[in-house]
Amino acid sequence: MRNTRTILRSIFLLAAGTLMALPAHASQLVLGSLEEPPNLSALTDLPHHFPEHVPQTLLFDSLTQFMPDGTVRPKLAARWEVSKDGRVYTFTLVPNAKFHDGTPVTAEDVKFTFDAAKDPATKSSDEGLETVEKVEVLNPRTVRVTLSKLTPQFLAEGGARGIVPKHVLAGKDLATDPFNLKPVGSGPYRLVSFTPGQAIVFAAVPDFYRGAPKIERIVFKILPDQNVILTQLRAGEIQYALLQPRDLPVVEHTAGLRVVESPTPRFYDLTLNYQRPYWQDRRVREAILRGIDREAIVQKVLLGHGQVIAANATPASWAFSKDVPTYPTDPDRAQQLLNEAGWRPGPDGIRMKNGVPLRFTVMLKNVDRTLEQVFVITQQRLKPLGVDLRIERVEPGVFPQRMRGGQFDALSRVWNPVYDPDQSNQLKTGNRYGGYSNPEVDALLARTLGTLDRAQRKQAYAALQRALSQDLARLYLFTENELHVAPVGLRGIQWHPVNIFWNLKDWTLDK
Amino acid sequence: MLGFVLRRLLQAALTLLTLLALVFAVLRLAPGGPAYALLGPDRYTPERAALIESQLGLDQPVPEQARRWVLQFTHGELGYSYFHHRPALAVVRDRLLATLILGGLAFLLALLVGIPTGVWAAVRQGQWVDRVLSRAAVVVLATPSFWLGIGLILLCSAWLRVLPSAGWAPIGGGATLGERLRYLLLPLITLAASHAASLALYTRTAMREALAADHTRTAYAVGIPARRVIWRYALATAALPVVTMAGLMLAHFLEGSLVVETVFAWPGIGQLTVASITRRDYPVLLVVTLFVGIMVLGANLLTDCVGRWLDPRVERV
């Protein structure tokens, strides 16, 4: 029939058309990401994890640079002085930094950025700037920031805030301005295009004040599904992505790709709600921890790409201490502890005390597949001990409300202390993260925040980790490594606990 | 006919209003809320949440919120996306275009492949052509679209490397029509396949009945050429159930297929809807409901009209 023939002919023509080669770019790196940044302004939030921080790191420079070893180096601020009481910072800016529209970066822009981030009406995040009291412009290159109290995290966290241009944004509604989608920054790359749901394209700024970036174009592709990312890696359509441990075999069979494994300060724990009477007995806490086979979890769920932790810092953090008690898995010891605590096996095998069964529910976010696997394993491990663990998966939008409202027995999630190890808001007396309270821990938390001296803080953190582990404030589980897949010819990647893209401008890509 | 269309339009408008009111209420009754989703677990404090809720007007009682939304709506304002920080209409419009292109073309492809295949199989009833075609259709119908999609990607993108595996245009813009077609081909086939198969099976059954009918036999008997009998007389009789079926499919195509959009990273409305539910982005969800509602109701109306045009007897039933 004529119709059929016509259709076949068009299909053939289409197929032939597809054999044309794709246009190649001089030097271009294509990243794939599951997540899409809601907008590109540096005022929205501090970048916390891949892939969020790619756009911000590329588009905006900040006053300081948080280094892999946890120290802080100059960036837009060439140098700074700190007053004796640690409350007043005077930053001197580099003379040659420019926004992408050619306007110099001045002290006015720093003041504008900090003020805007602090202003609730702009719907911005004031993360890292919570204690900023006053920002004064002394001259175009000098800005003075006064804090309400000594804040050792300020230089790293507040210093990481990307500086936005005052001359573009002054007088605008920052919550709705088109700037959020087409920002003008002072970073090593400028924005070429942002197509929501699809891609963000960046081009190198040739006259960048810290030296021109080596890779000319960065494409940040938004892909909705991990399987799509894997297929695109295999098809050579993207060259860089974040992997799950189970994805590794795919990459191993694809030529030209390699895996960069990156330890992180991220960790998982079991946060206990101290309103529940059973958690108030330390023996129960230790028994549960000894019943969870954390080594097996790291091997089976993370496929070995992680590590068991003893307290709230991981080896990737400068605050990490090795000198912390650990509680190796020991079901016999767990049984013994539960017996001592008065929990006796009931008729159905579940332990009972005063007529109450030893039963608790772990609340997880329903998007967290890793933790779901972890607690299915844990459920099976705790059952022979006479502990009935149940799993409840809730929507991410509901999770914070339940957590802060104390509507849970125990919860598990990832904690991500990125720029500074401080977690006082979760641990000090009166916290709304399960209500743990311990005067010794309170005193140590105060010590960790009482000085700018790194060595003294490190000591205080070591003591804090010991205290938390001794008291089993929470049941600390494990840390996971990030698995980045990159082209073999990509050079210059340097490990960083927060942001592996921190030195992206110095990366090179072999042809 | 005009009276019929007007009556149906009025019904459609009422349905749409009820739909919007339901979605509006359900969203607000669901636990959690935009403040929690926007702040995340660690920046969340009751004070910050309260501030966001008052900025978004969510501290008002639900009827008052509804009143404000209707007021805005009558002024042509569809609200601001909480998450994207831009007008909800602009957020939805970009995605809607992608869904309409993919869904519309997939619908055409399903019609162009499904109906002739079904007719062919019915004409060669019982012969090998019929057996092969109808069995193939059952297999295609039973194949989940994510499986077909991933299979096609592995074949054409990862192995043969002739077609791009995801997205809807080359990054960076400046795409020619040919390039766009390259991106369209795999999602189009994946989305159309099962629908084409089901249309083919449906048409085959309807055609077999039509071919066995008295008037068809008479047409053959008076010497009208076979091609004309099949395509003109038999198909006209078989068309009514097929059109009803196709109409239901059209609505389905226009809603956006989450599975196909996800597998091919096609930036359509299905993906946006799921993401917006997680983010509790009420304005975007309402605009999505509005447009999808209009399209589904429109598709139904179109089906009814075509049905009546094909077979005026419908009017009297």
The mean pLDDT of chain A is: 90
Distance (Å) from the alpha carbon of A197 to chain B's nearest alpha carbon: 6
Q: For A407-424, what is the mean pLDDT? A: 91
**Percent of chain A residues topping a pLDDT of 90:** 71
Q: For A422-449, what is the mean pLDDT? A: 93
Domain spans of chain B? 94-267
CB A36 within 8 A of CB B271: no
What integer pLDDT is reported at residue B171 of this predicted model? 64
Residue of B nearest to A425 (CA): B42
The C-alpha atoms of residue A457 and residue A463 are separated, in whole angstroms, by 10
**Position B167 confidence tier, pLDDT thresholds 50, 70, 90:** confident
Local structure of residue A24 (DSSP, 8 states): P
Burial of B88 (0-12, 13-18, 19+ CB in 10 A): buried
The C-alpha atoms of residue A469 and residue A309 are separated, in whole angstroms, by 10
Query: Using CB atoms and an 8 Å cut-off, which of residues 112-141 of chain A contact chain B?
Result: 120, 123, 125, 127
Q: A383 in helix, strand or coil?
A: helix
What integer pLDDT is reported at residue B219 of this predicted model? 87
Residue of A nearest to B83 (CA): A38
Structure tokens at A189: 């790359």
Query: Does residue A389 surpass a pLDDT of 80?
Result: yes
**Position A13 confidence tier, pLDDT thresholds 50, 70, 90:** very low
Q: For B33-57, what is the mean pLDDT? A: 77
Q: What type of residue is A1?
A: M
Q: For A413-439, what is the mean pLDDT? A: 91
**Position A308 confidence tier, pLDDT thresholds 50, 70, 90:** very high
Give the burial string for A443-482 (b: 16+ CB within 10 Å, else e). Answer: ebbebbbeeeeeeebbbbbbbbbbbbbeebbbbbbbbbbb
Residue of A nearest to B182 (CA): A18
CA angle at A170 for the pair A169 and A175, rounded to the nearest 5°: 55
What integer pLDDT is reported at residue A24 of this predicted model? 47
Query: Does residue A407 surpass a pLDDT of 90?
Result: yes
Which residues does chain B have within 8 Å of residue A192's beta carbon, measured at their own beta carbons? 172
Q: For B112-131, what is the mean pLDDT? A: 91
Contact B171 A398 (CB under 8 A): no
Residue A74 has φ and ψ, to the nearest 5°, of -65, 150
Q: What is the CATH number of domain B94-267?
A: 1.10.3720.10
Which residues does chain A have within 8 Å of residue B45's beta carbon, measured at their own beta carbons? 404
Query: Does residue B252 surpass a pLDDT of 90?
Result: no
Tally of CB atoms within 10 A around B210: 22
Q: For A43-70, what is the mean pLDDT? A: 81
Contact B278 A127 (CB under 8 A): no
What integer pLDDT is reported at residue A18 of this predicted model? 42
pLDDT in tens, A455-487: 999 999 999 999 999 999 999 999 999 999 999
What integer pLDDT is reported at residue B5 of this predicted model? 83
Tally of CB atoms within 10 A around B314: 13
Q: Residue B278: which of A231, A397, A401 has the nearest Cβ?
A: A397
Query: Does residue A54 surpass a pLDDT of 90?
Result: no
**Position A269 confidence tier, pLDDT thresholds 50, 70, 90:** very high
Query: Does residue A8 surpass a pLDDT of 50?
Result: no
Query: Using CB atoms and an 8 Å cut-off, which of residues 196-235 of chain A contact chain B?
Result: 196-199, 201, 219, 221-225, 227-228, 231-232, 234-235
Query: Does residue A236 surpass a pLDDT of 60?
Result: yes
CB A366 within 8 A of CB A395: yes
β strands within chain B, DSSP E: none
What integer pLDDT is reported at residue A47 of this predicted model? 57
**Position B213 confidence tier, pLDDT thresholds 50, 70, 90:** confident
Distance (Å) from the alpha carbon of A318 to chain B's nearest alpha carbon: 22
CB A81 within 8 A of CB A90: yes
Distance (Å) from the alpha carbon of A354 to chain B's nearest alpha carbon: 34
Please report, for residues A35, A235, B111, the alpha-carbon distance to residue B136 in angstroms, rounded to integers and kept in the order given.
Answer: 39, 29, 17
pLDDT in tens, A131-165: 999 999 999 999 999 999 999 999 999 999 999 99
What integer pLDDT is reported at residue A127 of this predicted model? 83
β strands within A58-157, DSSP E: 64-66, 72-74, 77-82, 88-93, 132-139, 142-147
**Position A23 confidence tier, pLDDT thresholds 50, 70, 90:** very low
Residue B7 has φ and ψ, to the nearest 5°, of -60, -45
Q: For A209-218, what is the mean pLDDT? A: 95
**Position B316 confidence tier, pLDDT thresholds 50, 70, 90:** very low
Q: For B22-39, what is the mean pLDDT? A: 82
Which residues does chain A have within 8 Å of residue B167's beta carbon, measured at their own beta carbons? 198-199, 221
Inter-chain Cβ pairs, chain A and chain B, closer than 8 A: 147
pLDDT in tens, A74-95: 999 999 999 999 999 999 999 9
Which residues does chain B have within 8 Å of residue A223's beta carbon, measured at their own beta carbons? 166, 265
Q: For B230-236, what is the mean pLDDT? A: 85
Which residues does chain A have within 8 Å of residue B263's beta carbon, measured at their own beta carbons? 225, 227-228
Which residues does chain B have within 8 Å of residue A23's beta carbon, measured at their own beta carbons? 170
- A61 vs A255, residue with greater confidence: A61
The C-alpha atoms of residue B243 and residue B241 are separated, in whole angstroms, by 5
What integer pLDDT is reported at residue A9 of this predicted model? 47
Tally of CB atoms within 10 A around A350: 16
Contact B36 A224 (CB under 8 A): no
Query: Using CB atoms and an 8 Å cut-off, which of residues 20-39 of chain A contact chain B?
Result: 20, 22-23, 30, 38-39
Q: A73 in helix, strand or coil?
A: strand
Q: For B96-122, what is the mean pLDDT? A: 92
Q: For A234-243, what is the mean pLDDT? A: 90
What integer pLDDT is reported at residue A20 of this predicted model? 37
Q: Residue A196: which of B32, B36, B94 has the nearest Cβ?
A: B94
What integer pLDDT is reported at residue B256 of this predicted model? 67
**Position A14 confidence tier, pLDDT thresholds 50, 70, 90:** very low
Residue A205 gets the label, from left (phi > 0), alpha (psi -120 to 50) or beta, of: beta
Query: Does residue B41 surpass a pLDDT of 80?
Result: no
**Position A175 confidence tier, pLDDT thresholds 50, 70, 90:** confident
Residue B40 has φ and ψ, to the nearest 5°, of 75, 170
Contact B280 A397 (CB under 8 A): yes
Residue of B nearest to A416 (CA): B42
**Position A52 confidence tier, pLDDT thresholds 50, 70, 90:** low
Local structure of residue B220 (DSSP, 8 states): H
Query: Does residue A70 surpass a pLDDT of 80?
Result: yes
